[in-house]
Amino acid sequence: GDSVTQMEGPVTLSEEAFLTINCTYTATGYPSLFWYVQYPGEGLQLLLKATKADDKGSNKGFEATYRKETTSFHLEKGSVQVSDSAVYFCALSDRRKGGSEKLVFGKGMKLTVNP
């Protein structure tokens, strides 16, 4: 079945450091790919998404590019802030005809950014 594998961490960075969180997926169809973020005590929120190969999703300085050839959707930010401290989840959904509408999540990676 469909699956997502991502870095699990936890990871601690200093403010203004570069961030990469790796995510790879396995899917038999043509999935849409997502990054969700969970701030302390909150539910998950969509951070960005990409629905087809070579699409780049971006939001709040974060970026991720849908790479079909490497089945990857790595999340990057050039300069992290303390407010980026959260848990980050990579996810996919398979919208092919007859596919499941559910989201499949990775295990999440906790990021702490220190001032």
Partner 1 sequence: DAGVIQSPRHEVTEMGQEVTLRCKPISGHDYLFWYRQTMMRGLELLIYFNNNVPIDDSGMPEDRFSAKMPNASFSTLKIQPSEPRDSAVYFCASSPNPAVDTEAFFGQGTRLTVV
User: Where along the sequence are the contacts to partner 1 (CB under 8 A)?
Assistant: 32, 34, 41-46, 49, 89, 93, 95, 100-108
Rounded CA-CA distance 97/67 in Å is 22
The conformational region for residue 43 under phi > 0 = left, psi -120 to 50 = alpha, else beta, is beta
Nearest approach, Cβ of 91 to partner 1 (angstroms)? 9
Q: Provide the 8-state DSSP code for 34.
A: E
Of the two residues 104 and 113, which places its CB atom closer to partner 1 in the complex?
Answer: 104
Of the two residues 43 and 115, which places its CB atom closer to partner 1 in the complex?
Answer: 43
Nearest approach, Cβ of 96 to partner 1 (angstroms)? 11
Of the two residues 69 and 101, which places its CB atom closer to partner 1 in the complex?
Answer: 101
Nearest approach, Cβ of 98 to partner 1 (angstroms)? 12
Burial letters 68-96, b for 16+ CB under 10 A, else e: eeebbbbbebeebeeebbbbbbbbbbbee
Of the two residues 74 and 88, which places its CB atom closer to partner 1 in the complex?
Answer: 88
